[in-house]
Amino acid sequence: MFQAKKIRNRQKILELLYKTDGLLTSKRIAELLEADGYLISERTVRLYLQELAQEGFTRSFGHRGHSITERGLSELRVTQTYQRIGYLSARIDEMTYKMSFDLEQRTGTVVVNTSVVDPRDLAGCLDRVAQVFTKGYGMGTRLAILTPGERIGELEIPPHRIGFCTICSITLNSVLLKHGIPTTSRFGGLLEVCGGKPRRFVELIHYDGTSIDPLEVFIRARMTNYLGAISDGNGLIGASFREIPEDARDLALRLADAMARIGMGGLMVAGMPGQPVLDIPVTPGRIGLVVIAGLNPIAILEELGYPIQSRALSGLLDFTRTITVDELPQTLSQFL
C-alpha cells in the first residue's frame, strides 16, 4: 500500500514538472498537489525530488526550482501507458457529454484542441495555416486565441505565447448525441488525399488502445504532409473514423450541414449502410463517417519546423470566444 502511494506521488510530481513551462519549487509543487487533492508536505516533496534527481528523472536549479529531464519524460510515458490504456476513449465520452453547445441557438461550450505557439511563428505561417482552413482540411473555419496566463483544462498559456484553439472533431459527436444519435469513435489516422479528395487511411491508431491522441503522435513524428495537401491537393492529413446507427444517416447529414453553415463543418465522408468506407469495414447496422481532425491547421507549423505544443481535447470553450479564420490576422496583430 505504501509503495503504491509512493509511486503515485512520484508520478504526480513528474506530471506537474512536465506540464509546466519553466521551473517549479518544492513549495509550489506542494501547493499544486494540494489543489489536486494530494496532501503532501513541502518537506516530503523535497525528499521525492532528491530521489528523482538521483535517478536522473529531474534536475535541480537550486532556489529557482526543478525541471524534468529526458529520462524523466521517458519514465513518465512508460507509467502512463500502463495506467491509461483506454483513457482516450473515456476522455472522448466525458467531453461529449459535458459539451453544452446548442446548434439552433449557437450558444454554449464546444470541445477544442489547444496549441501553444509563438505568435511571431504563427504570423510567419499565417497564409499556409489559413489555406488548411479554406481548402477544407480543418474542422470548419472557426478558431479562438487564448492570451498568456489563460488556462483551459490543465493547460496554462505561458508568457510570450498564445493558445491557438481549434474546434475538436468530438464536437460533432456531441451535436449528434443531443439529437439522439450515439457515435462510436473507432480510430484516428493519417488520411491520404489525392486531388483534394480522400483516398485511404495509410496509418491508424485505435482509440481504445492509446492514452495519446493519434494525431499528436503523427504530428510529432513529422508523418503529415499538409504542404502537399494545400499546394496540389495531394498529401497526408489527420482524420478520424466514427460509426453511427444506419437509420440516423439522413439526420446526421442534415446536422453536419447545419454545423458547416456556421463554420464548424468537418464531415468528409458518410458511408452507406453496411458498406466499407475507404476500404474500412463497418459494423453491421451502422454507417461509417470520416471526420477531419481539428488539429490540422496549426499542425502545419510543426511540419515546417516550428516548435509547438498541442493538446487535443484540451477543454471546453464558449462558442462566443471563437472567430473566423478571416478575422485571425487582425486578432493576431495584437500580440506582435
Per-residue pLDDT at 12: 86
Sign of CA dihedral 31, 310, 292, 259: positive
Checking if the pLDDT of 287 tops 50, the result is yes
Whole-structure pTM value: 0.75
Give per-residue pLDDT as tens, 153-166.
878 899 999 999 99
When the pLDDT of each residue in the chain is averaged and rounded to a whole number, the result is 90
The distance from CA 323 to its chain's CA centroid, rounded to whole angstroms, is: 19
Taking each helix axis from N to C terminus, what angle separates 170-178 and 87-98, rounded to the nearest 10 degrees?
50
Give per-residue pLDDT as tens, 232-280.
999 999 999 999 999 999 999 999 999 999 999 999 999 999 899 999 9
Per-residue pLDDT at 75: 76
**Grid-cell match 450515439, residue found:** 182
How crowded is residue 178: how many other Cβ atoms within 10 Å of its Cβ? Answer: 17
CA within 13 Å, CB half, 246: 12
How crowded is residue 44: how many other Cβ atoms within 10 Å of its Cβ? Answer: 14
How crowded is residue 88: how many other Cβ atoms within 10 Å of its Cβ? Answer: 23
Checking if the pLDDT of 1 tops 50, the result is no
> What average pLDDT does this structure show over 78-96?
69
Per-residue pLDDT at 209: 67
How crowded is residue 147: how many other Cβ atoms within 10 Å of its Cβ? Answer: 11
| pLDDT band at 38; cut points 50, 70, 90 | confident
- Phi, psi (degrees; rounded to nearest 5) at 273: -50, 125
- Which of the two residues, 82 and 89, has the higher pLDDT score? 89
Per-residue pLDDT at 80: 60
Checking if the pLDDT of 222 tops 90, the result is no
Per-residue pLDDT at 297: 95
DSSP state at residue 225: B
Quote the percentage of the chain above a pLDDT of 70. Answer: 95
Cell of residue 174, nine digits: 456531441
- Cβ proximity of 67 and 19 under 8 Å: no
Checking if the pLDDT of 319 tops 80, the result is yes
DSSP state at residue 107: B
